[in-house]
Homo-oligomer: A and B are copies of this chain.
Amino acid sequence: MSKTKVSIKDIAQKAGVSTALVSYVLNGKEKESRVGQEIAIKIKQIAAELHYQPSHLAKSLRSGKTHTIGLIIADISNPFFANIARVVEDEAKRNGYTVIIGSSDENADKSRDLINVLINRQIDGFIIVSSENSEQQIHDLKDKNIPFVLLDRYFPEIPTDFVSTDHYKASYDAGTHLVKNGYKRVGMIAYDSHLFHMQERIRGYQDSLRDNKVDFQETWLKKVKINNIENGVKAAIDEMLASTQPVDAVLFATYSLAVSGLKHITKLSLKVPEDLAIVSFGQAEVFELYYCPITYLKQPIVLLGQTAVELLVKKLTNNLNEPAQILMKAELIVRASSKTKYSLST
């Protein structure tokens, strides 16, 4: 690319004028510098013919702003993140920003690489869905005074601006809903992860059982490794059903876990909710089109994405005067998969 790059000098030569004159015109300063209209038009035409691209770096050094946001998501193939990325883009565009996306694949090294690649490309700031063990990256961004907002996940021990679902409350609501609907042996399948949002989902589930006087059993809580979802979920369900106190309901901590779970449940010919009630985090077409529509925790994707952009834009324009730590409510959408137990025929 660099060898074909057209410079101001090339344009100046072709137009037979000074580089300073070209620079004035291409930076929209022809009026201040009293350049004739005719020569200004000629310069612009030549620039267009030569496919001149103003150097991004030079432009951003002048204004200090590039109007570009870096969005780091945890996994682009997860519909939750893909959909939130779409919202972030739409909202950024409304605010005059372009979004460049990197996906860390839940890998801290890759996340660090992406953040560095984007810093070197002069973005104005970041919106980040953090991956596990990436705390140091957040500290580094703070040390370097690079504006950022964390999205959906945050580190409670690091003071940052963030916007997130209230994961604890969502999980607590789901657990309570199942117990109130007559399910007394409620299990949960979560990820084996140190990430705070996952810990909060687990804590909410456990507290909901305790507060509703259900005697939580260790065998009801299964933690699956994120790189072994399919087999992990299979084993988890098999074990939960084979225990001395087999579960009659399962709360899936993520959409991916639920999809793997539904596949296995279908294979086992278990009837939902008669044999096993289901609630899942996250919204997806599959929850609507399953023969027994699935109760789910609807995360506020649009509001999360819009608020993250809003906060970052405020930071970039020096209009965010105090720390913003925003928790949003997930809505429990009740469908047939968690129907009141007493209403079931079996």
List chain A positions with a Cβ less than 8 A from chain B: 1-4, 51, 53-57, 60-61, 64, 68, 75-79, 82-83, 85-86, 89-90, 93, 98-103, 105, 110, 113-114, 116-122, 124-125, 140, 143-147, 259, 262-263, 266, 284-286, 288-291
Contact = CB atoms under 8 A, between A and B. Distances in A.
| Number of copies of this kind of chain in the complex | 2
Nearest to A258: B285
A285 B55 CA distance: 45
Given A100-B117, A100-B121, A290-B290, 7 more contacts: A53-B116, A53-B120, A79-B79, A98-B113, A101-B102, A263-B289, A286-B286
A183 B78 CA distance: 36
A71 to B, nearest CB: 9
Nearest to A124: B1
A86 to B, nearest CB: 4
A93 to B, nearest CB: 7
B120 A103 contact: no
B85 A120 contact: no
Given A53-B120, A100-B117, A121-B122, A1 B76 contact: no
Nearest to A85: B76
Nearest to A293: B266
Contacts of A121: 56, 100, 121-122
B55 A76 contact: no
Contacts of A140: 51
Nearest to A140: B51
B117 A1 contact: no
Contacts of A119: 1, 53
Given A89-B76, A119-B53, A259 B289 contact: yes
A86 B78 CA distance: 10
Contact of A146 (B1, B54, B118, B289): B1
A318 to B, nearest CB: 12
B68 A77 contact: no
A105 B89 contact: yes
A237 B103 CA distance: 38
B288 A291 contact: no
Given A60-B2, A263-B289, A285-B259, A101 B76 contact: yes
Contacts of A146: 1, 4
Contacts of A284: 285-286
A99 B98 contact: no
A16 to B, nearest CB: 24
Given A85-B103, A101-B102, A103-B101, A2 B64 contact: yes
A116 to B, nearest CB: 7
Contacts of A90: 105
Contacts of A259: 285, 289
Contacts of A285: 259, 263, 284, 286
Contacts of A102: 98-101
B82 A79 contact: yes
A328 B114 CA distance: 31
